[in-house]
Chains A and B, each alone.
Chain A
């Protein structure tokens, strides 16, 4: 039995759902998201003793995941996109029509960002990292995060104009 197993098991159980959510936003596909998190967790396992000592496991796994996604795209030059169907996940309220349009539009728009732009959007606006934290995660400068964010938002405005026009549920009714 691997001595690192119990701690690692607990880490996987606790953090996999959150990692999968970020990975899904990065890849747009359930299976690709699973592959991404699986690989990142595998690498985390290899470095587990060191990471456990520093208490830095989740940051390492996330960093690994983002780097893998950006570099995988660069090597393969494949365009991945969200599937056409929109499943209603647990906990999702029945959407107001505008919210459904926004979700559809945003899914499509995300798939048309460059991998780095998509990574920056997820880091900044889903993982809620600061610019400095996002820069650290991607291994780039804060200036790059700023410029990639600006470019990503510009493209999202074009591709998903609904972002600027959705009513707040309850307020606009």
Chain B
């Protein structure tokens, strides 16, 4: 019996532990709550539209033409297709023989060290040992010998169960990569160091964190620290040397306006404004906004710089990278849409419906960023 057979069998046995329950009444109650919530949201959005219409009428007042010209709906704006991430470029570490330094006394005993051969950036021995993974690398002449060296992020195992991580500089020695020295690692008290950059003068900057998270290193306190090869070892030469007791944090909250469609020409035109407020003390350089909207909705107008269409979705999926808000400030990003037919919004919650906004921080990272609710519904109203 294979391990997959055992897995299937084990899952099947665990699943029998759940008690059968009649959920009909509870499901109907949930359905009712969703309907009420949606009715309220639509009413609020409708009031907002009415208020805007009223204020516009007041504002234009006497300037309004007796018979306003009907402008045709704008044409859909064609956006580029988003490039898919794919696998990281591991350069010389994709396939190579390297010597892995010690992971430190506290590391897991099954972490391989010494001379290993990498295939696809990984050394795998057997099920009893954790594999060695190369996650990323940068090139820099760290030892100033005129030849390019390679600094790699090595991890023993994967995820929260990783046995250790270390940033190690290597020099090429024939067909192999020999270690120059360890820049920094878990043995130095850091839990994460997912981002590294080559800086001038052969220096290496590493984003370090003391806390581990599956949610991305930018979501826990982090600092850039810079290291240089001096007197036979790597020493920190720039950046903070300690974490403050209460590190500063960016605190983002996201509010989309209602996407209110109005008839224009033969179609429907709608406008949406996404506001992101930063109540924290850390500037955020860039944000990624993912807009999921019904398939009938298309981008229009000229507000789409930095945006692309995400492929592989039945819905309209648009990704925009925008400048983030500085500390204690906000940004507002306007978008214009057209719809050839009446958009149909599905009564689904965040992350499942076809009308929501997802916000995340885009690199470069520098300091902890907390997003209060990264996924919010975009209310849609149609005439």
| Chain A contact residues, CB within 8 Å of chain B | 9, 12-13, 16-17, 20-25, 30, 33-34, 37-39, 41-47, 63-64, 67-68, 70-71, 74-75, 77, 82, 86-87, 89-92, 95, 99, 102-103, 106-107, 110, 112, 114, 121-122, 125-126, 139, 141, 151, 153-164, 166-168, 171
Contacts and interface: CB of A to CB of B under 8 A. Distances in A.
Nearest to B373: A75
Interface in B5-26: 6-24, 26
Contacts of A71: 349-352, 375
26 contacts: A9-B24, A12-B23, A20-B20, A25-B11, A25-B14, A41-B26, A41-B27, A42-B26, A42-B27, A42-B29, A46-B35, A46-B347, A64-B352, A67-B352, A68-B349, A71-B350, A75-B350, A75-B373, A86-B17, A89-B18, A102-B10, A141-B84, A158-B161, A164-B6, A167-B1, A168-B1
A9 B23 CA distance: 10
B264 interface: no
A153 B3 CA distance: 10
A72 to B, nearest CB: 9
Contact of A42 (B13, B17, B31): B31
CB-CB nearest 6 A-B residue pairs: A42-B30, A41-B27, A89-B16, A71-B351, A24-B18, A45-B31
A17 B99 CA distance: 53
A162 B352 CA distance: 36
B346 A12 contact: no
Nearest to A4: B31
Given A42-B30, A46-B31, A37 B23 contact: yes
Nearest to B350: A71
Contacts of B373: 75
B22 A16 contact: yes
Contacts of B313: 139
Interface in B129-167: 130-131, 157-161
B60 interface: no
B31 A43 contact: yes
B351 A163 contact: no
Say whether chain A's binding surface is mostly helix, strand, loop, or mixed: helix
Nearest to A135: B312
A92 B23 contact: no
A8 B17 CA distance: 26
B160 A92 contact: no
Contacts of B18: 20-21, 23-24, 30, 33, 89
Given A12-B24, A71-B352, A151-B159, A38 B12 contact: no
A43 B16 contact: no
B33 interface: yes
A161 B127 CA distance: 9
B141 to A, nearest CB: 34
B160 A112 contact: yes
A95 B11 CA distance: 14
Nearest to A154: B158
Contacts of A121: 7, 11
A156 B35 CA distance: 41
Given A42-B28, A47-B346, A155-B159, A106 B23 contact: no
Contacts of B159: 114, 151, 155
A43 B13 contact: no
B34 A155 contact: no
Contacts of B26: 34, 38, 41-42
B316 to A, nearest CB: 14
A89 B34 CA distance: 34
A3 to B, nearest CB: 14
B267 interface: no
A102 to B, nearest CB: 5
A121 B7 CA distance: 9
A102 B10 CA distance: 7
Contacts of B106: none
A22 B15 contact: yes
A82 to B, nearest CB: 8
A33 B17 CA distance: 12
B119 to A, nearest CB: 14
B374 interface: yes
Interface string B344-383: 0011111110000000000000000000011100000000
B374 A38 contact: no
Contacts of B158: 151, 154-155
Given A45-B31, A77-B215, A106 B10 contact: yes
B135 to A, nearest CB: 13
Contact of B4 (A21, A39, A43, A125): A125
Contact of B6 (A42, A102, A114): A102
A75 B28 contact: no
Interface in B313-360: 313, 346-352
Nearest to A46: B347
A108 to B, nearest CB: 11
A167 B159 CA distance: 30
B71 interface: no
